[in-house]
Amino acid sequence: MDAIILQLLNGLDKGGAYALIALGLTLVFGTLGVVNFAHGALFMLGAFCAVSIQSLLTISKQVKDESITFFDAYKEQPYLEIWWGDTGTAIIDWAVPLSIFLAIPIMLLIGVAMERGLIRHFYKRPHAEQILVTFGLAIVIQEIVKSFFGANPIPTPSPEIVAGSANIGLLLGLGESVVYPWWRLVYLLFSGIVIFAVFAFLQFTTFGMVVRAGMQDRETVGLLGINVERRFTVVFGIAAVVAGLAGVMYAPILPPDYHMGMDFLVLSFVVVVVGGMGSLGGAVSAGFLLGILQSFASMTEVKSIIPGIDQIIIYLVAVVILLTRPRGLMGRKGVMED
């Protein structure tokens, strides 16, 4: 029972990340009709917003390393610590949550620049060309990040106060062994809030209404005199922000490296396909569903029955769903079928 609860939490947590990335992918696909393979790179850029803030806060002075005695060696000490002592250390400690405030404008800017600068030139081109250009863009972004930050993962810890794990077993009246990292619980809550915010934005604002209408029938909305394109540019920016925030908050769980976006991209595409192309609700529910299934498939008991199932479960589910429901769980008729 304990193991099942833990794997359920793992699944929800993983699912939260999948859902956030897939949500952005679907949003872009549903509005602009573009299959954006650079979306994983946006997730990675978000994580590197956290790394950048941490690097900015830890800009250091070269001080002599007294522990090396046989020649003059230097080590680094952050200016914040030199100037403000413990307060400086505390600010550095909160680098990841602080990054959220920076990530929102930066990711919005990157998203809009990406759409205006490159992707809009490919709206009327075949999907294959869109995939090629966005995939190429993803590689370019990756290499740029690598040239600045190197190939090694960079530790980006969560604030000390949420660094440990919560004894949820005691809270729920289960055993003492049911512990779960605080930061992962924070991530789960955070992904829930972001998903809710995106849905609320689309559901309860005029802007959102136009976007939803545009997703249904772009031509008619355009004929009504509404500049759909401009709104869709903003949508691309929002999708970038969602992916970026997912990345920022994921940095303490997975020390960021230049390749982390690619690792998530493939899974997120499967999530979109399983959920149904263009369906926001489908993307979110498929994200959580596949996250949970992947976690359960990794249990030793399950692996002892079907070895290697943890590595193929997601693709197996995708195959089954596509065979039984070719449009995905919540796919709409007519999307990508022309």
Partner 1 sequence: MSDDKKTSELSRRGFIKVSAAAMAAASSPMFFTKGAWAANEFRNNPGDASSVKFGFNVPQTGAYADEGADELRAYQLAVKHINGEGDGGMLNTMKPLSLKGNGILGKKLEYVTGDTQTKSDAARASAKRMIEKDGVVMITGGSSSGVAVAVQGLCQEMGVVFMAGLTHSNDTTGKDKRRYGFRHFFNAYMSGAALGPVLEKEMGKERRAYHLTADYTWGWTQEESIKNTTEALGWETVAAVRTPVGAGDFSQYITPVLNSGADVLILNHYGKDMINSLTQAVQFGLRDKQVNGKNFEIIVPLFSRLMAQGAGDNIKGILGSTNWHWSLQDDGSKAFVKSFWQEYGFPPSQAAQTCYVQALLYADAVERAGTFYPPEVIKTLEGHTFDGMGNGPTEYRAADHQCFKDVLVVRGNENPSSQFDLLKVEQIVPRSQVEYDPAIFGGDLGPYEV
Q: Which residue ranges make up the site for partner 1 (CB under 8 A)?
A: 2-3, 6-7, 10-11, 13-14, 65-67, 70-71, 73-76, 146, 150-155, 157, 163-165, 177-181, 183-184, 252-255, 257, 259-260, 263-264, 294-295, 298-300, 303, 310-311
Q: How far is the CB of 122 from partner 1 (least distance, A)?
A: 27
Nearer CB in complex with partner 1: 132/254: 254
Nearer CB in complex with partner 1: 39/327: 39
* DSSP letter string, 225-270: T--HHHHHHHHHHHHHHHHHHHHHHHTTTS---TTHHHHHHHHHHH
C-alpha 3: how far from chain center? 26
Q: How far is the CB of 260 from partner 1 (least distance, A)?
A: 7
Q: How far is CA 42 from CA 51, 206, 301, in A?
A: 14, 27, 36
Q: How far is CA 33 from CA 11, 22, 182, 309, in A?
A: 30, 15, 38, 34
Q: How far is the CB of 128 from partner 1 (least distance, A)?
A: 26
Compute the distance between CA of residue 135 and CA of residue 145 in angstroms, rounded to an integer.
15
Nearer CB in complex with partner 1: 172/200: 172
Nearer CB in complex with partner 1: 55/281: 55
Q: How far is the CB of 119 from partner 1 (least distance, A)?
A: 26
Nearer CB in complex with partner 1: 10/52: 10
Element (H, E) at 54: helix 39-57
- CB < 8 Å & 24+ apart, contacts of 112-118: 112/233, 112/234, 112/236, 112/237, 112/240, 114/38, 114/236, 114/240, 115/32, 115/232, 115/233, 115/236, 115/237, 116/233
Nearer CB in complex with partner 1: 216/311: 311
Q: How far is the CB of 238 from partner 1 (least distance, A)?
A: 26
Q: How far is the CB of 41 from partner 1 (least distance, A)?
A: 16
